[in-house]
Structures are given as C-alpha cells and as structure tokens.
Structure 1
Amino acid sequence: MTARVVLGVSGASGALLALAVGEALVKVGAEIDLVVSSAAKLTFATEADAGALERLQGMAAHVHAIGNVGAAIASGSCPVTGMIIAPCSMRSLAAVAHGLDDNLLTRAASVQLKERRPLILMAREAPLTLAHLRNMTAVTEMGGIILPPVPAFYLKPQTAEEIAAQIGARAVDLLRLGPAQAQAWSP
C-alpha cells in the first residue's frame, strides 16, 4: 500500500524547503495531499522562480484549498501516514498548539495529533520568543515533532538546494516510510 502524506505549506520563509520535502516524498513513492496557505503563495512568489509552486502542485496527488475544511484530510477516518508542515510559520504553530482548526492546514495537523500519527513541523523563525517556545513545547507534549530547518554543515553543502534537500529528506525520514534518505553523519 502506498503511503499517503499530507504536506502543508505555511507562509514562513522557506519555499525551497516545501519543494525539497515534496521531492523527498516523491522519491519514497508517497502519495501527497497538498495544502498551501495564502501567505505561502506570496512566499513562493517572492522566493522562488515563476513555476515553483506549480511544480510542487504537480508532485501532489491531491491539491486542497486552504479553506476547504470539509476535505477528506480533515477527518481522522482518512487513512494518511502523517503530515509535514514545511515551512511552518509561528502563526500555524500557535494554531496547532492551541487547537485552532480554522483552516484545512491546521485542521489536518490537529487530526494527526488526535489520531496519534506523526506530525512534523519545520518551524521557521529566529530568534524565538517565549510564546514560540511554549507553543513548540505544547505541540511536542501532544506528540508532534518540531524540526527546525537546521543545515547539516558537516556535509559541506555547496548550494541552498543541497541544504534544503538534506533537511527535506530528514523530515521524510521521520515518517519511517522506508530506508533513510538523508545523508548520515560519518566521522
């Protein structure tokens, strides 16, 4: 059976991270349910080339409108393996931490938590306020995984794409869909 994974993209800086996660999911043969926030569309327009968002949408088996809280992925009966939000804005983090299911991205994240499925949030902000830290703690206590997109400098990446690819592979590896895709540290 093919793994079905929800990929949420919020408005934080990091369009390249969303693309890298999408590519890593395709590489492991996952079926992608994509939800992109309005702010994420603006981020793509600012940070990526003209066709980047369309390429990401092309990787998805299902593209859901952010306002469609009646989509299949808004229900725990929808058989998904887990969800990654890449990048995850502090607004989306706060909504997940406090159960504010006001759009499909945050509702789908809440579903993962209530169903005890993996939820990986690529929290993208610096520096962090106490509110951010408390929200990260709350999500972690509920079973979510906070994965800040920290580069693996020990791999000596040469491009931003290499950095994003490693981080994206690391996020997908946390879903345990198969053999690890991220390059391992080796002394």
Structure 2
Amino acid sequence: MTGASGAILAERFLLRAREVAEIELHLILSPAALLTAQLELGKKRRDWTTLADTIYRHDDLAAPLASGSFPTAGMVIIPCSMKTLAAVAHGFSDNLITRAAEVTLKERRRLVLAVRETPLSLVHLRNMMLATEAGAVVMPPVPAFYAGVTTIEAAADQFACRVLDLLGWSHPNAVRWSGGDELGV
C-alpha cells in the first residue's frame, strides 16, 4: 500500500480477500500510505492489523517478501503511486514494496498495479507501458458502472473482486457482466 489517494481501495481489497478462505495476506505499508489512510479513513497502523496476517515496514528489506524463495500467488500494489510505478517500471528497488514487486516480476508471478493519478502525463503512460512489458498488470481503479455501483464502498468492492479475479480467486459476490440480455440489448 503506497501513499496515493485511495486508501479505501486497499481496505476493501483486504476485506474482500479475507472472505476468500485460502488467501494468506501480507501487507506492506509505506509511511505515505499510513499518512493517507489517516487522512482519508482515520486509520492508524494498528487498525490494519486485523486485515492482514502479517504487516511489514516498508524499509524491512530482510522480510521474506524480499526473496523469490518465499512463495506467493502474486502481489497487488493498491493504491499504487506514480513514484512506485516509476520504481517498478525501472527496476529501482529501494524499499520492500518495490523489492517485492521486482521479485514478483522476476519469478513470473502476477503483479497488479492499481495506479492512482489523473490526468496522466506521457511519463506516466510510458512507465505503465514499461511495467506492462515487464509483466505487470496495470489496473486503474475504474468502476464498472454496469455493476450498479452507487457508493464509493460498492465501487471499491467491485474493483477488489476484479483484482481477486486476476490473482485467480473468485469472490462469491463478484458482479459479472451477463451480456445485457435481460435489458433487451
């Protein structure tokens, strides 16, 4: 979790992932993420402990996630700041978040980057391209309006379910596009 706006996206992802029994959750919190979570949700570091099995400091480069020998199904950076995107795109591993992302890519595991910025500059787009070419999935948190989302929480839940899909886990409450047949389309 980085310091980009959208702490609710991380919170809802962790809540929805908790409902899929076989997922063990490891959370890395950057200092900026903690600040953003405090500002946006009123949450402090201790408030995240019930949402993950293990929480790491962003500067703990000796953590298991820093090694490819630690098996994971993949990694999600949600929300993903443009600074973190740039670091991932260019292989700059100066903290545990970017090192774990580098490990995820080199081990050919799924890396999902929920990038949070608008509008996008050419530098942002190029970094997204580089990250994609390296094997990451760039997934801005764009709501699927066909899912009938009417609240921020519902939009964040729907996005969380899509991210879980990308990691190979299906959430029982995921809204699926049915083709519009019931609408007479």
| Same-fold status (TM-score > 0.5) | yes
Matching residue of 1:40: 33
Task: Give SS of 2:26's match.
Answer: strand
Q: Give the counterpart of 1:101 among 93, 118, 121.
A: 93
Q: TM-score, normalised by structure 1?
A: 0.91
In 2: Cα distance, 1:120 partner to 1:92 partner: 12
In 1: Cα distance, 2:174 partner to 2:24 partner: 19
Contact kept, 8 Å, 1:173 with 1:181, in 2: the verdict is no
- The amino acid that maps onto 1:26 is R
- The amino acid that maps onto 1:47 is E
Does residue 15 in structure 1 map to residue 7 in structure 2?
yes
Q: Give the counterpart of 2:159 among 164, 167, 174.
A: 167
Larger radius of gyration: 2
Specify every segment of 5 or more residues in structure 2 that has no aligned partner in the other structure, as ranges. Answer: 181-185
Task: Give SS of 2:27's match.
Answer: strand
Superposed displacement of residue 179, structure 1 = 6.0
Matching residue of 1:84: 76
Change (3 A) 1:55 1:185: farther
Task: Give SS of 1:59's match.
Answer: coil
Moved more, 79-88 or 177-186: 177-186
Superposed displacement of residue 50, structure 1 = 3.9
Superposed displacement of residue 177, structure 1 = 2.8
Superposed displacement of residue 173, structure 1 = 1.0
Superposed displacement of residue 172, structure 1 = 1.2
Contact kept, 8 Å, 1:170 with 1:181, in 2: the verdict is no
Q: TM-score, normalised by structure 2?
A: 0.92
Superposed displacement of residue 157, structure 1 = 1.4
Q: Give the counterpart of 1:185 among 167, 177, 183.
A: 177
- The amino acid that maps onto 1:161 is E
Matching residue of 2:138: 146
- The amino acid that maps onto 1:163 is A
Matching residue of 1:129: 121
Deviant stretches of 4+, over 2 Å? 53-57, 177-182
In 2: Cα distance, 1:111 partner to 1:148 partner: 22
Superposed displacement of residue 178, structure 1 = 4.4
- The amino acid that maps onto 2:56 is H
Matching residue of 1:5: none
Contact kept, 8 Å, 2:3 with 2:31, in 1: the verdict is yes
* 1:110-129 matches, cutoff 5 A: 110-129=102-121
Task: Give SS of 1:91's match.
Answer: helix
In 2: Cα distance, 1:141 partner to 1:131 partner: 15
